[in-house]
Chain A
Amino acid sequence: ETGVTQSPTHLIKTRGQQVTLRCSSQSGHNTVSWYQQALGQGPQFIFQYYREEENGRGNFPPRFSGLQFPNYSSELNVNALELDDSALYLCASSSPGRQETQYFGPGTRLLVL
C-alpha cells in the first residue's frame, strides 16, 4: 500500500509568481485536504476535496485554489505569491467512511523570495 506522496519536495519562487503543488492520495482514499504550516506553527486548513469538488475551505484568499482528479490525486495552486506564503504545504488523504482520520504526506517546502 502506497502512502501519500507529494511533489516537489522543495521549491523556490519569487514574489508575484504562481506555483502548483501536487499530491497523490493513499490507495483507496477519496478525500484530500491541504494544510499550510508556517515555521513554528501548527498546520492550518486550506481546503478539502471530495469526489473532485471542493468540500470545505479555511480562511485563505481565492488565490489559493485546487483541483482533484478522477484518480483522487490533487493539486494546490497559489497565484500572486507573497512572502508570507513561505511555508510547508501538507496534503492529507482519508478513506470513505473514515474521513475524520487523515494521513499526511511529507510536504512541499515553499520559499518565496
Chain B
Amino acid sequence: AQSVTQLDSQVPVFEEAPVELRCNYSSSVSVYLFWYVQYPNQGLQLLLKYLSGSTLVKSINGFEAEFNKSQTSFHLRKPSVHISDTAEYFCAVTGNSGNTPLVFGKGTRLSVIA
C-alpha cells in the first residue's frame, strides 16, 4: 500500500516569488508519482508526472518536480509564481506493478498575493 504526506496545508506567497510545495510518499514497491491542480469548483488537472527516466519532470506552465528515491520525495517547485497559480495542489502516488489506484495527499492550498 502507498501513502502520501503533503507537509503544508496552506502556502501563501507573493507574486513573482519562488515556491516549493512538499510531498513525501511511502511505498513498499516502486512508484509512479503525480501532481494534480484543482482550481475552485473544478475537477483535477494533471500538472506533471514521473514514470521513469529523468528524475526532473516539467510542466508546460513553468512548474517542475524532482523524484528523490532516497528521500521518498516529489516536491513541486516554480521559480516565479503568478496570480493565476492560486489553486489547490495534490500529490498522488501509485504502484508501478499494475492496476493500483491513485493515492492522494490532503492537498496544499497555494495562495499567490499581489
What is A's interface to B at a CB cutoff of 8 Å?
A: 4, 6, 31, 33, 35, 40-45, 48, 50, 55-56, 58, 90, 92, 99-107
* Residue from the list A6, A40, A45 in contact with B101, Cβ < 8 A: A45
Across the interface, do A106 and B43 meet the contact criterion of CB distance under 8 Å? Answer: yes
Min C-beta distance of B15 to chain A, whole Å: 25
Residues 78-111 of chain B, each 1 if its beta carbon lies under 8 Å from chain A, else 0: 0000000000001010101001111111110000
Tell me if B46 counts as interface (CB < 8 A to partner A): yes
* Residue from the list A41, A48, A90, A105 in contact with B99, Cβ < 8 A: A48
Contacts of A58 in B (CB 8 A): 101
Question: For the complex, what is the distance from the CA of A109 to the CA of B105, rounded to whole Å?
Answer: 20
Min C-beta distance of B91 to chain A, whole Å: 9
Across the interface, do B107 and A56 meet the contact criterion of CB distance under 8 Å? Answer: no
Main secondary structure of the interface of B (DSSP, over half): strand
Contacts of B42 in A (CB 8 A): 106-107
Contacts of A50 in B (CB 8 A): 99
Q: Interface size on B (CB < 8 Å)?
A: 24
What is B's interface to A at a CB cutoff of 8 Å?
A: 4, 32, 34, 36, 42-46, 49, 51, 90, 92, 94, 96, 99-107
Question: For the complex, what is the distance from the CA of A104 to the CA of B39, rounded to whole Å?
Answer: 13
Question: For the complex, what is the distance from the CA of A86 to the CA of B42, rounded to whole Å?
Answer: 16
Q: CB-nearest residue of chain A relative to B95?
A: A100
Across the interface, do A42 and B49 meet the contact criterion of CB distance under 8 Å? Answer: no
- What are 18 A-B interface contacts by the 8 Å CB criterion? A4-B43, A40-B107, A41-B107, A42-B104, A42-B105, A43-B44, A43-B90, A43-B104, A45-B101, A45-B102, A50-B99, A55-B99, A92-B44, A101-B34, A101-B49, A105-B43, A107-B42, A107-B43
